[in-house]
Amino acid sequence: MKSITSTGYNPARLGWEESVFHTANGYLGVRGSPEEGAPEGVFSVRGAYINGFYDIKDIQYGEKLYGFPETQQTTINLMDVQTVRLWVEGERFTLSEGEVLKYDRELFLDRGVSEKRVLWRSPQGREVFIRARRMASLEQKELFLMKYAVMPMNFSGEVVLESEESGEVSNFFNPNDPRVAAEALKHLHITRAEHTPGGTLLAGRTDRSSLEIACAVAHQVESAAEKETWQAGERLFTRFKAHVPQEESLTLTKWCVYADSRRHPDAQDAAQRILEDSLAKGLQHFLARQTQILSAFWAASRVEVEGDKALQSSLDYSLYTLLCSAGWEGISSVGAKGLSGEGYEGHYFWDTEIYVFPFFLMTSRNIAKGLLEYRYNILDKAREHARLMGHPKGALYAWRTITGSECSGYYPSGSAQYHLTGDVSHAFIQYYLATGDLTFMRDRGAEVLVETARLWLDAGHEEKGQFRIDAVTGPDEYTCVVNNNFYTNAVARENLSWAAKIIKILDKQGMAEDVRKKLNITKEELRAFEKAAKRMYLPYDKERDIHAQDDSFLRKQRLDLKAIPKENFPLLLHYHPLWLYRHQVCKQADTVLAHYLFEDLAEPSTMANSYAYYEQCTTHDSSLSTCVFSIMAAKLGDLGKAMDYFNRSATLDLDDTHGNTRDGIHTANMGGSYLAMVAGFGGMRIKEDGLHLSPQLPEKWEGYAFRLRYQDSLIACRVRRKGCVLEVLEGKDVKVYVHGQKVKLKKGERTKVDA
């Protein structure tokens, strides 16, 4: 397993490094900020975050109308434990003074450890080698470890390490970028700050959500050193001083435990107890467990590409980061920036269900199920949101949220995106098709499907024998509040159909009684679901043989993207929304995405024509776009174009192609890169009749391989020029479809299928 590296100190890339080399485990994330602090004038966001830990703030409007959300939740920056300052013979180490002789950073994907190595010459000529390692434990989610070692290279002398834990933190803001917070607010108020035997304890409460957070820290030094402690307000200091011989080291290990009141009734007690238990187990235990957990993860999920080492590294980084970003316990989900930064304020979007969830569904079922549990747990909030939006029945999931209430203040590209409700139902349907887990569908899934289907019955209406849905926004946020968005109608159609279907399936197994009683489901209502699904209007332009994005899109003036200066992209930062809404221009895949998810709704010629048409007017200003175009290019047989789009998706963060990775990594795009491999080149689809594969091999590759969990089996697929080889590694024999032909796979036997 390779690592991700960055070589050479460049102050302009510090923000990018902080995001890419962040340390996270799905619960806790810490940005890779310099331990000594960022040089003055250099962009840096020093942050630590807990998934789903938030505060509340007001949404300001010039003109507020009925139903506009008054407040929103925002993830908050936690106590800062990253600081370790260094002095050698009285000279303070800083990257802005002296000479950086060597600087590199490395993330070990098989060990879950991030490392920074610096060889520094002080202004007076003293050379020291600094090695700083970090780990967010995948076993004990509350635990973050730092190990900071200093070695004098050309002298023997006094070395001082000063550790600081600070409660004086606030969130990053940028009033000129809608993708981050627009104002500076201090959300965390420290209620306790004190030194403890061997460490420190900081505790605080959020300003308006009244959530509690505690951080307990212990210090361990591997050699004899003088120790001094002091406090300045909400800042706690511990200083270690020792005489260190040449080419020997002074090493400080910081054990940092964060615990919050959403998971622990007494956060302070939990933080201290977990810290004590962790210290008793010791560092080697956690290092070994990290490797074991990741070994199992890679064995089930790694996608291998033969013939492109750079692409392999990008894929490995994407899948590792997905693991580190995802909530699993039903309280949290996957933020747009994972746990790497404050972009989009930690909110959860439709990104999770459409781009991220499929990866976990096919590789890590416990996480996939946890993500669905989260949506089920906020179903009551979705019901409340539906009432606020004028629907007497059903559930409407909020466009961006943490706990379930709407956090978007701009409804045209926020609350109007009703498709998210269908996206959530799609994830539940895919889960059932991939697992056959009727117990979960009885206890959770059926309720979600029925309540969301009720929403569509009220949001839409029948006209001339067609079921239509007006005044919604599809995935393309450059085209807002339209009638009959093709994508929205497609997900609503599936939602309505499956709401009736899952009740019938449960009926046949004698498992529907509790659901029927709880939701007061009638036969008439189920027939109404089926009727609406059958009559769903899907806009189609016969002359062009394409599906129209909505009723008005094809009548608008077409925008010449080539005439727009490159510096004016992304368009949302340079043009008024209304100007964008008046033109045929797409921020991201919309109809093309629907063709991927629901390929059986259109003829191959229609999908090909739609792809060609929308490709000409799509800017890909959204990171969610190029992966979808790659998937559909592969579906249509254009592997060269599929490769071009795939490379743009896979390298987005490591190459910082959108120029905003410093605000956090693009989590959904990482899921999209996985899908471009498995669903694009691999042709993977989960349908009612089973798992479908249609592997194709691009010219530049020698081969590729991936593994999928389907039903009770783990299936390996290796693709070569002449075909593919399939094998059941775990579980039972299983039937799949390869290029449309049914193939029976037997455990322990390799089955070759010609191209």
List the alpha helices (DSSP H) in 302-405: 309-325, 351, 357-363, 365-377, 379-388
Asked if 69 and 57 count as a contact pair (C-beta separation under 8 A), the reply is no
Which residues lie below 8 Å from residue 510, measured CB to CB, with a gap of 6+? none
Active site residue 477: yes
Output the CA–CA distances (angstroms, integers) from residue 104 to 7, 93, 107, in the order listed: 4, 16, 10
Asked if 318 and 672 count as a contact pair (C-beta separation under 8 A), the reply is no
**What would you report as the CA-atom Rg of the chain, rounded to the nearest whole angstrom?**
27
The vertex-552 CA angle with 548 and 556, nearest 5°, equals 100
Q: Enter the tokens of residue 670.
A: 């990482």
Q: Enter the tokens of residue 717.
A: 């697929």
Residue for token pair 């510096």: 567
CA-based nearest residue to 502, from 434, 424, 447, 421 = 447
Asked if 230 and 147 count as a contact pair (C-beta separation under 8 A), the reply is no
Length, in residues, of the chain: 755
First to last CA, the chain: 29
- Of the CA atoms within 13 Å of residue 740, those in its CB half-sphere come to 0
Output the CA–CA distances (angstroms, integers) from residue 331 to 205, 342, 380, 382, 530, in the order listed: 19, 19, 14, 15, 33
Residue for token pair 């490395």: 106
Task: Assign 199 to helix, strand or coil.
Answer: strand
Q: DSSP assignment, residue 207?
A: S
Interatomic CA distance for residues 496 and 155, integer angstroms? 74
CA-based nearest residue to 634, from 595, 683, 685 = 683
User: Kind of pairing, strands 143-152 and 703-710?
Assistant: unpaired
Phi then psi dihedrals of residue 641, to 5 deg: -65, -40
Sheet holding 226-232, edge to edge: 91-92, 84-88, 157-166, 235-244, 226-232
The vertex-31 CA angle with 36 and 296, nearest 5°, equals 125
Q: Enter the tokens of residue 522.
A: 């009638």
Cβ density class 460-470: b for 16+ within 10 Å, e for less: beeeeeebbbe
Q: Enter the tokens of residue 464.
A: 């001339």
Which residues lie below 8 Å from residue 265, measured CB to CB, with a gap of 6+? none
Interatomic CA distance for residues 376 and 353, integer angstroms? 13
Q: Enter the tokens of residue 701.
A: 């590759």
Asked if 452 and 496 count as a contact pair (C-beta separation under 8 A), the reply is no
Task: Assign 230 to helix, strand or coil.
Answer: strand
Q: DSSP assignment, residue 703?
A: E
Interatomic CA distance for residues 197 and 218, integer angstroms? 8
Interatomic CA distance for residues 516 and 526, integer angstroms? 11
Interatomic CA distance for residues 443 and 192, integer angstroms? 42
Q: DSSP assignment, residue 690?
A: E
Asked if 287 and 111 count as a contact pair (C-beta separation under 8 A), the reply is yes
Output the CA–CA distances (angstroms, integers) from residue 737 to 376, 688, 747, in the order listed: 32, 12, 16
* Active-site residue identified among 212, 342, 451, 477: 477
- Which own/partner pairs from 182-185 qualify as long-range (CB within 8 Å, at least 24 positions apart)? 185/57
Asked if 74 and 206 count as a contact pair (C-beta separation under 8 A), the reply is no
Residues with catalytic roles: 477
